[in-house]
Structure 1
Amino acid sequence: MPSLHSDRLLPVDPGVRAFARRRYETVRDLPIPSPHRLDQGEAFEAAAEPMSVNPREVFEL
């Protein structure tokens, strides 16, 4: 199976591609933050609690 080229998702323009490569190198090893990531215990606790949001307040103009 052929390997994928490392620049396949970068811009075509050579100057922009060089900038994108440098930028990627500075952030490549950083973790990806996610607002949806919860510890398993917290997820179960949150799912067990009833929602306390009034739908009329959410959609009120």
Structure 2
Amino acid sequence: MPQLDTSTWFIVIMSMLLTLFIIFQLKILTYQFPMNPQSTHLKQTKYGTPWEEKWTKTYLPLS
């Protein structure tokens, strides 16, 4: 039964990792990020709920 030749595995694995690293770097490079994220002002709108404007009476259960 022939033996499995594993002498080239190191080169194959290393070249695969290098290729994946380069591909991921190229993918990340295409994203457009804002220059200064802190300078964006988010407008916060307050949504009124009906129970904030009315007084509601709390009833105790009958004893």
TM-score (ref. length: structure 1)? 0.33
Which structure would you say has the larger RCO, counting Cα contacts within 8 Å and 6 or more residues apart?
1
Q: Larger Cα Rg: Structure 1 or Structure 2?
A: 2
